Amino acid sequence: MKELAVYVDTNSKVPAYEQIYSFIRDEIINGNIKKGASLPSSRALAEYLQFSRSTILMAYEQLVAEGYIETEPRRGYYVLELDNGFRGSGAAATSQLSLEKAAKEYRIDFSPDGIETGHFPYNEWRRIMRQVVTPENQELFNSGDSRGDSGLRQVISEYLMESRRVRANPSRVILGAGNENLLMIISMLLDGSSVFGMENPVYRKSYMLLKSLGRKIVPVGMDGSGMLVSRLEESGADIAYVTPSHQYPTGTVMSIKRRMELLAWARAKEDRYIIEDDYDSEFRYKGKPIPALQGNDGEDKVIYIGTFSKSLSPAMRISYMVLPGVLYEKYMKNGTYLSNTVSRIDQKAVELFIREGGFGRHLSRMRKIYKNKHDVMLACLRRWKNTVVSGENAGAHMLVHINNGMSGRRLAELADANGIKIYPLDTYYIDEKKSKDTQILLGYARLDAHQIEKGLRELAELWGL
């Protein structure tokens, strides 16, 4: 312990040493200063509290005399153990993480979220960090542009053009610590009365965030080609939130025809916008690459959102969006007071990683790794009776339709009892009870081939497939 903020009332009739003594004694009794903790040296505390050293020594000696603390040469003053009966109610409040809920541990978790972290480029990242954290980059350690640093915004702009055909002027690229952070900014830029049309089933985090921001949301049905634009039109929505590359959670890839319909819908009214959440477009296993919706948009109607959470790591919290002109101008007028939320150290590291080609290599490597897991899962599922797999061409999870008469919830209960976690589709619906739904989500990013095979073998037995 280096310092101890003791409050001493200099107007009080109680001498300072006695106030210091009582303060420390109470803190020990209440368990706020723990057994074995060392107190600041009398010199340090005297300087810190601006009292003479002898005042502090008198307080300490009193504490020693009463058995609260002990002194040892070279070790200084440290706190002794007290009888338990001594401790006041304050002890519990600061003890440890007593309120933490113990999350259930599963043997195998087919989570559709998360990534494989075994192949994160650790060595390269350490090398880049050595480059970034130097006095030469001193300016980086102060506050930066509210949009994020221009270096990373520039390389993101180039990357989006190359790989997704997204037309992103670097000025209009805005970084945020996760998609939810960007959605908060978007919500501030859109009219308060706007109605959000969301795919149903839905990506729950975005749904819950918009809901807790008090936004009006209407669920819009889907078919095998994506959100039904006719239903969107009927819903009265102004803003369409879609995941065209790989719908979350169903895995549907929005057809070209539907994309064109959606863009036409947006063009029909001035305040209509499309939020294109392109969260895992980097991973695709079959068919030709389909460019982002944003690239087909000739009239600045698409707010494009992407993230490094899937392609690199969710630990860095780096997402980005590309704003249409009108919203960009609003942002520059009213939004720049908000400090950017992304670590500037991580921003610089990702910038260098992309510039030096590391990101491209990492993506190729991860595509192969996920493709392998994908193939293993698909091969297992194809052996199951009465089972239809969909949404398997991209991302890191599949939608599995099991026709053995059990609901997804029942399937999950059976799995749960055996230490395996699966994700019934019905929990992803907005405002609807679909408890009889028989579809489930199976993700594979965090599992290795052996776990996938073992888990699916056990599930097939449990479910009689």
* Residue whose CB is less far from a second copy, 35 or 457: 35
Q: Which residues contact 36 (CB under 8 A, 6 or more apart)?
A: 78, 79
What's the rounded Cα separation, in Å, for the pair 77 and 298?
72
Examine residue 71 and tell whether it contacts a second copy (CB under 8 A): no
Contact between 408 and 425 under an 8 Å Cβ cutoff? The reply is yes
Q: According to CB under 8 A, which residues from 103 to 122 bind a second copy? A: 113-115, 117-118, 120, 122
* Cβ at position 183, least distance to a second copy in Å: 11
* Residue whose CB is less far from a second copy, 220 or 322: 322
Which of 258, 301, 344, 362 touches a second copy (CB under 8 A)? 344
* Residue whose CB is less far from a second copy, 120 or 429: 120
What's the rounded Cα separation, in Å, for the pair 176 and 323?
13
Q: According to CB under 8 A, which residues from 178 to 197 bind a second copy? A: 178, 180-181, 184, 188, 192
* Cβ at position 223, least distance to a second copy in Å: 20
Examine residue 85 and tell whether it contacts a second copy (CB under 8 A): no
Examine residue 38 and tell whether it contacts a second copy (CB under 8 A): no
Binding mask 269-308 for a second copy (x = CB under 8 A): ------------------xxxxx-----------------
Examine residue 177 and tell whether it contacts a second copy (CB under 8 A): yes
Examine residue 200 and tell whether it contacts a second copy (CB under 8 A): no
* Cβ at position 80, least distance to a second copy in Å: 18
Q: According to CB under 8 A, which residues from 347 to 366 bind a second copy? A: 357, 360, 364
Contact between 35 and 81 under an 8 Å Cβ cutoff? The reply is yes
Contact between 165 and 278 under an 8 Å Cβ cutoff? The reply is no
* Residue whose CB is less far from a second copy, 369 or 406: 369
Q: At what angle do helices 449-463 and 358-382 cross, to 10 degrees?
A: 30
* Residue whose CB is less far from a second copy, 210 or 411: 210
Examine residue 20 and tell whether it contacts a second copy (CB under 8 A): no
DSSP codes of every residue in 258-272: HHHHHHHHHHTSTT-
Examine residue 345 and tell whether it contacts a second copy (CB under 8 A): yes
Instruction: Give the binding range for a second copy (CB under 8 A) out of 74-82, 344-352, 385-393, 413-421.
Output: 344-352
Q: According to CB under 8 A, which residues from 224 to 263 bind a second copy? A: 256
Which of 25, 46, 48, 375 touches a second copy (CB under 8 A)? 48
Counting residues that bind a second copy (by CB under 8 A) gives: 103
Examine residue 7 and tell whether it contacts a second copy (CB under 8 A): yes
Which of 258, 317, 409, 434 touches a second copy (CB under 8 A)? 317
* Residue whose CB is less far from a second copy, 58 or 168: 168
Examine residue 217 and tell whether it contacts a second copy (CB under 8 A): no
Contact between 329 and 301 under an 8 Å Cβ cutoff? The reply is no
What's the rounded Cα separation, in Å, for the pair 346 and 353?
10
Helices (H) and strands (E) in the chain, counts: 16, 17
CA 257 to chain centre: 33
* Cβ at position 271, least distance to a second copy in Å: 19
What Rg value do the Cα atoms of the chain yield, rounded?
A: 29
Instruction: Name the 3-class secondary structure at 85.
Output: helix
* Cβ at position 338, least distance to a second copy in Å: 6
Q: Which residues contact 244 (CB under 8 A, 6 or more apart)?
A: 226, 253, 254, 259, 276, 278, 290, 292, 293
* Residue whose CB is less far from a second copy, 5 or 417: 5
Q: Tell me how far CA of residue 394 lies from CA of 12, 47, 358, 401, in angstroms.
A: 72, 63, 22, 17
Examine residue 93 and tell whether it contacts a second copy (CB under 8 A): yes
Examine residue 157 and tell whether it contacts a second copy (CB under 8 A): yes
What's the rounded Cα separation, in Å, for the pair 281 and 289?
9
* Cβ at position 200, least distance to a second copy in Å: 18
DSSP codes of every residue in 371-417: HHHHHHHHHHHHTSTTEEEES-SBTTEEEEEE-SS--HHHHHHHHHH
Examine residue 144 and tell whether it contacts a second copy (CB under 8 A): yes
> What's 86's DSSP letter?
G
